[in-house]
Amino acid sequence: MASKDKNIRGYGSGSVDVVMSVDQVAKEAAAISASAPKKSDLEKLIKSDPFLTIHDLKAGYGKMEILHDFNLTVGKGESLCLIGPNGAGKSTVLHSIFGFTNIFSGTITVDGNDVTGLTPSQKLSNAGIAYILQDKSVFPQMTVEENLLMGGFLKNKPSEAKAATELVFDKYSRLADRRYKPAGVLSGGERRLLEISRALVMQPNVLLVDEPSIGLEPRFIDMVFGILEDLQKKDGKTIIMVEQNAKKGLAFADIGYVLVSGETAIANSGDKVLSNPDVGRLFLGG
Amino acid sequence: MTDIISVKNVSKSFGGVKANINVSLNVKNSSITGIIGPNGCGKTTLFNSIVGYHPIDTGAIEFDGQEIHHLPVGDIARLGMLRTFQQTRIYSKMNCVDNMQISVSHRKNSNSNIFASRKGEIKEKAEHLLEFVGLFSKRNLISGDLSFGQQKLLEFAMALMNDPKVLLLDEPTAGINPTLINGLIDRLRKANEEFGITLCVIEHNMRVIMNLANHIYCLANGKLLADGKPNDLQKDKRVIDAYLGGH
């Protein structure tokens, strides 16, 4: 796993010669979707019992349905990466798990418990699910420590948030060294580390990570994926990720799903999705 | 080739933070010039200084041989230099054609024809450019309903409505699917080759910038670290250490 990650640095390399229009990609992707994986295929991809499962979900914003009978399953301590064109509904999957969307039908279960109807704050405090925002979500004027304490505002007592914050500082000396500095002075990579750590304050089992690479320089991309790998492998966190830096995301994740127009067109191990020539041409830039 | 932008010994601080220190660089006319460097190294500050978003502390900036660093944003835009942003800035409740039509340039208007009706001509140009970026079939859709990648294409087309001489693009491909990135690069190259627009591009995606740019500058800690052709810069130890990461 570690050696595999080293093959893809930053955003990866390669040519830019495959030029396809949005419509052309959509058309060819629709053809692939015809042989979309079944629920039983998805279950074969996980190595342990299902931990987080989405069953036949119809969800969207307002009255608009974006996900159509969407299914997903991931085992405890496993990682899954969603890739696909802009507007395919990848972020909507994360939003639905966390409770930001309108769910029209279907269920979401975590560790056997139905969490479909819980609010985001209930998800965070009771269901062990944390959502790591896409970008620029630190409070720049507040110190690193205050940012982490904000991550614990749902705790019953401030002292519990304080204790969890100390655990984060024990884990990441880079943040501990800067605990009294305003978050605004952190580098891009440290800021992303702070965003991830702030989510850890609630001690979640499931991390929903939205585009960890976005806006980051190549070195920090490798660093952030190293941190996520550590959280998965050492701390047993279950990670569901959306990543436009699809090569890096697929190299990282145990399982890869390709989403097209709100449905899963391809699902396989991360490696197999990464080496699938159709995926390369349509979604990885050739 | 002559230089269309000359940045000469420019420094810019915010409070105690030195964002740009004695930066000099040249953008050749009709070139595609790349700017890379770590997060927080001062790339966006440099863009903001060039387009007149804030005054510079010391140094000079010339556009087409004319000093511009004392000019306000609007005057610099009217000279033919525009920028786009990391996050898209479109009018999300209007449709694509309307977004295009309100982006039309007024820099070529003289006092006599400013009230003349150019409506038909503008609409035709808007539709032509929407076709150029591949959004013609979406032209009557509300722009806020487009995907993020399509909004980026729309923003690029809106900039083209002004017939700019120079476009400064701040991370044009961030958040776009890799295959659609290729489509955007193809359009950027065509805008450069067919319309003769000089492009100056900030990017973190090496696949993009190494294939797109003729010449690349790398900033680090507010200073110019290195510059050169893409292949040379990729092998430059200073750039690898400061930015690209170890091999």
Q: What is the DSSP string of B99-134?
A: HHHTT---TT--TTTTTS--HHHHHHHHHHHHHHHT
A39-91 residue pLDDT tens:
999 999 999 999 999 999 999 988 888 999 999 999 999 999 999 887 789 99
The pLDDT value given to residue B21: 96
Of B182, B186, B206, the CB nearest to A218: B206
Q: Across the beta sheet with A50-61, what order do the strands follow?
A: A64-75, A50-61, A102-110, A113-114
In angstroms, what is the C-alpha Rg of chain B? 18
- CB–CB of A86 and B177 under 8 A? yes
**Mean per-residue pLDDT, A142-153:** 94
Mean pLDDT of chain A: 90
CA distance B147 to chain A (A): 5
Of B174, B177, B182, the CB nearest to A85: B177
Closest residue in A to B221 (Cα–Cα): A187
- Tell me whether B32 touches chain A (CB under 8 Å): no
Q: What are phi and psi of B184, to 5 degrees?
A: -65, -40
Of A11, A214, A220, the CB nearest to B207: A11
- CB–CB of A21 and B182 under 8 A? no
pLDDT confidence tier of residue B210, bands split at 50, 70 and 90: very high
- Taking one residue from A and the other from B, the number of pairs with CB-CB distance under 8 angstroms is 124
pTM reported for the whole predicted model? 0.81
Which fold does the domain B1-80+164-247 belong to in CATH?
Rossmann fold (3.40.50)
Closest residue in B to A191 (Cα–Cα): B39
CB contacts of A246 in chain B (<8 Å) are 177-178
Residues contacting residue A50 through CB under 8 Å, at least 6 positions apart: A43, A73, A74, A75, A109
Q: Domain coordinates of chain A in residue numbers?
A: 2-7+22-283
3-state class (DSSP) for residue B35: strand
> Any idea which architecture A2-7+22-283 has in CATH?
3-Layer(aba) Sandwich (3.40)
CB contacts of A16 in chain B (<8 Å) are 181-182, 185-186, 207-208, 211-212
Residues contacting residue B9 through CB under 8 Å, at least 6 positions apart: B22, B23, B24, B58, B59, B60
- CB–CB of B149 and A87 under 8 A? yes
Q: Is the pLDDT of residue B66 over 60?
A: yes
- Tell me whether B203 touches chain A (CB under 8 Å): no
The pLDDT value given to residue B244: 85
CA distance A111 to chain B (A): 32
CB contacts of B207 in chain A (<8 Å) are 11-16, 285
- Tell me whether B227 touches chain A (CB under 8 Å): no
pLDDT confidence tier of residue A1, bands split at 50, 70 and 90: very low
CATH 3.40.50.300 residue ranges for chain B? 1-80+164-247
- Tell me whether B201 touches chain A (CB under 8 Å): no
Q: Which of A23-32, A111-120, B2-11, B235-244 has the lowest mean pLDDT?
A: A23-32
Q: Can you tell me the distance from the alpha carbon of B5 to that of A166, in angstroms, rounded to the nearest whole number?
A: 50
**Mean per-residue pLDDT, B213-235:** 94
Closest residue in B to A87 (Cα–Cα): B147
- Preferred mutation among B18, B36, B39, B150 to probe A, highest tally of A CBs within 10 A: B39
pLDDT confidence tier of residue A10, bands split at 50, 70 and 90: confident
B98-113 residue pLDDT tens:
999 988 876 555 555 5
CA B163-B165-B170 angle, 5° bins: 95
The continuous run of DSSP H or E covering B27 comes out as strand B17-28
- CB–CB of A244 and B177 under 8 A? yes
CB contacts of B39 in chain A (<8 Å) are 187-189, 215-217, 220
- CB–CB of B243 and A217 under 8 A? yes
Residues contacting residue A122 through CB under 8 Å, at least 6 positions apart: A99
Q: Is the pLDDT of residue A4 over 80?
A: no
- Tell me whether B9 touches chain A (CB under 8 Å): no
